[in-house]
Amino acid sequence: MRRVFIATSNAGKLRDFAAAAAPHGIQVEGLPAFASLPAAVEDADTFEANARKKAEHYSRFAPGELVLADDSGLEVDALGGAPGVRSARYAPGISAAFGNSDDAANNARLLRELTEVPDDRRRARFVCVLAAARDGRTVADFRGAAEGRILHALRGSGGFGYDPLFLLPALGKTFAELSPDEKAAVSHRGQAFRRFLEWYEGNPSLRSG
């Protein structure tokens, strides 16, 4: 089975990517010794720029390997696109340190911000930009987006982050109510990864493993 390294400490992201990769005979692994590596600074104002910064930074610790990193987040129209690139640290007191997040606090703030917003103005989307880098240089990036609506209360026990609040109207389920395979088929992360896979299959010289 071919191997792709993902630069993340987020177990939920690794599960999402692994579910999308498995049907294609690709094994997703976290970057070795990731927790001990110097953290990339996520200080850009776009998903694309943050994903590239992370992929380039972490690929320097795996010479010759293709390393993927993503920047993902939630954009809520009624909040002018917030939380956006600050999705993982939307709640007060959460620092920008890589992997530092508090799902419960972030969800609580989002619900407070939308308290007076009616259903027809709660449109939102999850966005993922996945960057592929080798030896400190980005070679490609891929974008995916999933459109939905923010609920008034949490629903479902799966997923992570804002998944229990994000309803897919076509399915009548939140991301937290989907199985891993269902989520991979419709999620922003699954879309971005499938675009990566199309590119990866067409560029055998860049494959790892």
What amino acid positions are annotated as catalytic residues? 71
What is the distance between the alpha carbons of residues 166 and 183, in angstroms, rounded to a whole number?
A: 12
Residues counted in the chain: 209
- The DSSP call for residue 43 is -
| Alpha carbon separation from 190 to 106, 132, 147, 156, 186 (Å, rounded) | 23, 15, 13, 20, 7
Output 170-175 pairs: Cβ under 8 A, ≥24 positions apart. Answer: 175/126
What is the distance between the alpha carbons of residues 74 and 12, in angstroms, rounded to a whole number?
A: 15
Q: Which of 187, 205, 207 is nearest to 197 (CA)?
A: 207
Bridge-partner residues for 83, per DSSP?
75
Bridge-partner residues for 28, per DSSP?
4
Show the tokens assigned to 124.
Answer: 């939102």
Q: Which of 131, 141, 126 is nearest to 187 (CA)?
A: 126
